[in-house]
């Protein structure tokens, strides 16, 4: 991340929660928010990975709390910790998501489909509901901002991760629906990345990275930092008149008629 690309004071005095933040896109988002002046609570399932991630932040800028995004006790623990430590919450970034199986949707076990939906869709909705209802944080009173992480697979089918795309389509429409319901007090937006250099992408496209990158007009895969920069913009007052949007961060892929 270049120093020139960071708006150092843009988020000064703001606090945020970033789920799924132990690595990849979530970690990059949290680091960017802190670089722009915010204090952040990061959450993820793996406590060891989250501890390692927290070591990358300046002292006093981050609270790491491990737990499952769809666990109500974990959500309450995080919200209470943010209230006690920071005294406020301004930004909620829902990045937690899973895709435990690869293959055809027609061959997908329904129990697995329910699990993916529970984490990706219901978990996202539950974080928003619980944050909105947490009296001490007064999220609506502070003019809070919600940013969800969708995917271009929610718009175009992607072989091998079809049902993941179905849940990401749900998140995109959930974003638009809640923006209408929660305005004007709370803004709700989403980013929809294409293939970004993460462990998830490596598992799906191992050995094919150059072939996949060649389909993009920009000629490369995305970096987590590419996504983080847009999330920081949406978290700031620079986007004060933007809500209900799902911003494609796809390197021109969809414009070129490609799929993830």
Per-residue pLDDT of the chain (260 residues; tens, 9 = 90+): 544 478 879 999 999 999 999 999 999 999 999 999 999 999 999 999 999 999 999 999 999 999 999 999 999 999 999 999 999 999 999 999 998 888 999 999 999 999 999 999 999 999 999 999 999 999 999 999 999 999 999 999 988 899 999 999 999 999 999 999 999 999 999 999 988 877 766 666 677 788 888 888 998 888 999 999 999 999 999 999 999 999 999 999 888 888 87
* Under 8 Å between Cβ of 223 and 195: no
In the annotation, is 102 catalytic? no
Question: Smallest Cα–Cα separation from 69: which of 97, 109, 34?
Answer: 97
CA angle 30, 34, 35 (to 5 degrees): 115
Buried b (16+ CB within 10 A) or exposed e, 18-49: bbbbbbbbbbbbbbbbbbbbbbbbbbbbeeeb
Q: Are strands 39-44 and 62-66 parallel, antiparallel or unpaired?
A: parallel
Question: Smallest Cα–Cα separation from 189: which of 225, 119, 139, 240?
Answer: 240
Q: Are strands 39-44 and 15-18 parallel, antiparallel or unpaired?
A: parallel
Q: Which residues is 189 bridged to in the sheet?
A: 147
DSSP secondary structure letter of residue 246: E
Catalytic entry in 102, 132, 164, 205: 164
Its pTM stands at 0.94
């Amino acid at each position: 991340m270049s120093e020139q690309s960071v708006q150092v004071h843009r988020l000064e005095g703001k606090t945020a929660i970033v789920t799924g933040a132990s690595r990849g896109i979530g970690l990059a988002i949290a680091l960017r928010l802190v670089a722009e002046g915010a204090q952040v609570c990061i959450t993820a399932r793996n406590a060891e990975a989250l501890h390692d991630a927290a070591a990358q932040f300046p002292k006093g800028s981050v609270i790491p709390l491990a737990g499952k995004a769809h666990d109500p006790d974990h959500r309450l623990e995080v919200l209470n910790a943010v209230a006690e430590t920071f005294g406020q919450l301004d930004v909620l970034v829902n990045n937690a998501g899973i895709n435990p199986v690869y293959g055809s949707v027609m061959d997908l076990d329904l129990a697995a489909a329910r699990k993916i939906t529970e984490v990706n869709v219901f978990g996202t909705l539950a974080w928003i509901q619980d944050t909105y209802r947490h009296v001490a944080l007064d999220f609506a009173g502070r003019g809070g901002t919600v940013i969800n992480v969708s995917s271009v697979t929610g718009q175009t089918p992607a072989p091998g991760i079809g049902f993941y795309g179905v849940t990401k389509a749900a998140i995109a429409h959930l974003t638009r629906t809640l923006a209408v319901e929660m305005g004007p007090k709370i803004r709700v937006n989403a980013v929809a990345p294409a293939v970004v250099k993460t462990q998830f992408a490596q598992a799906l496209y191992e050995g094919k990275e150059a072939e996949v990158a060649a389909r993009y007009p920009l000629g490369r895969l995305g970096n987590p930092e590419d996504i983080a920069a847009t999330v920081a913009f949406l978290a700031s007052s620079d986007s004060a008149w933007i809500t209900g949007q799902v911003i494609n961060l796809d390197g021109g892929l969809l414009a070129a008629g490609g799929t993830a």
